[in-house]
Structure 1
Amino acid sequence: MANQPEKLFKYCSTSTAVQILESRKLRWSSPSVFNDPLELSHLTEANFDRDALLQATIKLASSMIFSSSNPRGDTPLINAIKRWREEERFEDPEEAETVLGELLAKMVDQRMLLVKQFVETWQQYNKQTRICCFTSRPDSVVAWDLFAQGHSGVCFRFDASGDASAADASAIEYRNQRPELVDLRMQIDAILYNQPMDDHFDFSQFLRIKPPSRKLEMEWRCFRQSPNVDIGSDFSQWTDDIEFQAEELSAVCFGIDIKDKDKEHIQRLLKDQYTNARSYQANLAAGKYDLEIQKL
């Protein structure tokens, strides 16, 4: 787990920067607002249905009957499999699967009800959850390009300690394996070994994973639950603008292509309302594609 940073950085366009400075608020959004097809959303459901779960459970249970070793466990179903093995109840997998189909159907139906409840809980969590995104460095060429209007925006430095808005941030983990809302094999094991659904599942773990191709973004996310109960059905409006204290913003860095008038406007706002914030300028390093951050 990455160490909690003392400072985090927010890249944005100049128009967004002005809104942040004038309102002294940061926008926190539901994951659905990001509209990223690679992330789970409020529309995400289990990637299998009742029949798929039933057939997969039958196949695994049948293989346990004819396996060379005894299955582990002490549930009614596992004990029945052990007894059938001792009695040599079935001559072949096809005969076993017929009996298992009748036995497992009700168990699978009960499990699918739990899966349905789990998905509905996730969907409600997604609607109510609000995320504010930051990065860990002010000199990320990728972040400047993607989030700061192609280097013509700004990068704010926010305090990430104590009770600050950016405190308790979580680093994004960049993995090859995409998370699934409900894992089929885990549900099969739950049926075989009589395991309950986790009533205190941490849904935020689904929102802290991205593909390795985005590793250069060096993203950190802060989470909070929206106090708004009636949020409507338009997911683009699932946002909250949350106020921060002026002293939380300790610096602003201007992009290499920022317009002079935008830079002057932002500097005036800083002088009037954020007297402790320092100003920096990003410049291209000589002979490199790296950025150098210089104090103004």
Structure 2
Amino acid sequence: MVNKTPDSLVKFCDTVTAEKILTSQALRWSAPHLFIDPFELNHTSELCFTPQELLAATVKHAVNLIFCPDRPGGSTPILQAIRRWRSEDRFASPDEADEVLRGLLKPLVNARDEYNQRLMQNWRSYCMRLRLCCFSSRLNNPMAWQQWGNHHRGVALRFNVGEHTDFEEPHKIQYQDTRPEISLLADQVEAVIKNFQEEHGQVFTDKFLTKAKSLAHQREWRCFKVISEKALARTDDDYSDIVFNGADLDAICFGLHTPKSARESLIEQALAINPNVRVLQTEMQPGSYQMAFRRKFIKSQMPELDPALEEDTGEDFDDLPDLDQDSISGDAALDQMLEEVSLPLNEHRA
């Protein structure tokens, strides 16, 4: 099933982090080992089986193919031999077949082990060069506000997604009970029997797209960047602060308890990045655990209206105060900057 890419993605954070993001106009993309989830794979992760366990599992599978009711298909030498042994009734018992197959399959498993050593070298290199930036799919996510938005005292930055943005190909996290492994034992056995090797790149990407089903409330999406070996050698950091296009910043949204003193400077910084950025304030819905988002229009964002059109629209933009940065400060400055206009929730893609 193909996951439809959302029009926007949301980065929840506290006000200090939001100020760093807006001041630098950059998002932090981190290597996987910097994540706080111990179930996430990273460059220190190992294969979940030993060469001895792979040999034992491969022999067991081959013995089952000899004595199972159905005739196995396939054209590899080992499968051709298994079909011949079946037709000749070569082995009287699984124990007899086990002893013979162990000697025949050991060189194949040893070759697979050499492949797995290269696999792990590629895996470690990929993990060290991989940079991930994590988002949520919507503003209306109380758990995200609680977990990442500093208990509703923080900020949500919403970014445009898709073609011609810095976030062209986000990947949706799948929430399930099965934890990913670098490579599964069953897949390795099949690779030995059928004599094939996987392409690493896409397989590696998929390892970072699964989380526990209990975390489904996060509604997480991830964006991937892989830096070069030369870029990795030039830094000791396990992260990259990557500048984003100002036009990609669609909205800045304040939590239910974001301090008013923090909002003024954050709005100014957001406007410096994108003069058309939307400013939203989270509000509780009466009798509901859902949230509403009230848009606050900035004076500089108001259209220049013809006087004749003002009468038709019923909105008097002259009532909005002018912003004089030299003569205002504190909460009064914030009140002067903003004019509240209530908009329906669905207009904000919340």
Residues 1:230 and 2:227 aligned together: no
Partner of 2:242: 242
* Secondary structure of the structure 2 residue equivalent to 1:116: helix
Partner of 1:66: 67
The whole-number CA distance in structure 1 between the counterparts of 2:34 and 2:25 is: 21
The whole-number CA distance in structure 2 between the counterparts of 1:93 and 1:161 is: 56
Unpaired stretches in structure 1, ≥5 consecutive residues: none
The whole-number CA distance in structure 2 between the counterparts of 1:140 and 1:204 is: 26
Contact 2:247 2:273 in 1 (8 A): no
Provide Cα deviations, 1:123-145, integer angstroms capped at 9, x if missing partner. 21111111111111111101101
1:214-293 alignment runs, 5 A limit: 214-227=215-228, 228-230=231-233, 237-293=237-293
Q: Which has the larger radius of gyration?
A: 2
Contact 1:115 1:182 in 2 (8 A): no
Partner of 1:96: 97
1:117-266 alignment runs, 5 A limit: 117-198=118-199, 200-227=201-228, 228-230=231-233, 237-266=237-266
User: One-letter code of the match for 1:229?
Assistant: L
What is the deviation of 1:26? 0.7
The whole-number CA distance in structure 2 between the counterparts of 1:2 and 1:86 is: 47
User: CA 1:182 to 1:202, structure 2 compared with 1: closer, same or farther past 3 Å?
Assistant: closer
What is the deviation of 1:70? 2.1
User: CA 1:18 to 1:46, structure 2 compared with 1: closer, same or farther past 3 Å?
Assistant: same
Unpaired stretches in structure 2, ≥5 consecutive residues: 297-350
The whole-number CA distance in structure 2 between the counterparts of 1:157 and 1:199 is: 33
What is the deviation of 1:15? 0.2
Partner of 2:106: 105
Q: Which has the higher mean CA deviation after the structures are superposed, 90-99 or 273-282?
A: 273-282
Structure with the bigger RCO (C-alpha within 8 Å, sep 6+) is 1
The whole-number CA distance in structure 2 between the counterparts of 1:291 and 1:116 is: 51
User: One-letter code of the match for 1:66?
Assistant: F
* Secondary structure of the structure 1 residue equivalent to 2:121: helix
Provide Cα deviations, 1:133-174, integer angstroms capped at 9, x if missing partner. 111111110110111111100011111133322221111122
User: One-letter code of the match for 2:26?
Assistant: K
TM-score normalised per structure 2:
0.79
The whole-number CA distance in structure 2 between the counterparts of 1:183 and 1:91 is: 31
User: One-letter code of the match for 1:31?
Assistant: P
What is the deviation of 1:36? 1.6
The whole-number CA distance in structure 1 between the counterparts of 2:232 and 2:246 is: 29
What is the deviation of 1:273? 4.4
Partner of 2:333: none
User: CA 1:76 to 1:283, structure 2 compared with 1: closer, same or farther past 3 Å?
Assistant: same
Residues 1:21 and 2:27 aligned together: no
User: CA 1:231 to 1:216, structure 2 compared with 1: closer, same or farther past 3 Å?
Assistant: farther
Partner of 1:114: 115
Contact 1:166 1:222 in 2 (8 A): yes
Query: Once superposed, what is the RMSD of the aligned Cα atoms?
Result: 1.7
The whole-number CA distance in structure 2 between the counterparts of 1:159 and 1:152 is: 23
Contact 2:25 2:273 in 1 (8 A): no
What is the deviation of 1:107? 0.8
* Secondary structure of the structure 2 residue equivalent to 1:207: coil
The whole-number CA distance in structure 1 between the counterparts of 2:104 and 2:196 is: 17
User: One-letter code of the match for 2:256?
Assistant: I
Residue correspondences, number: 293
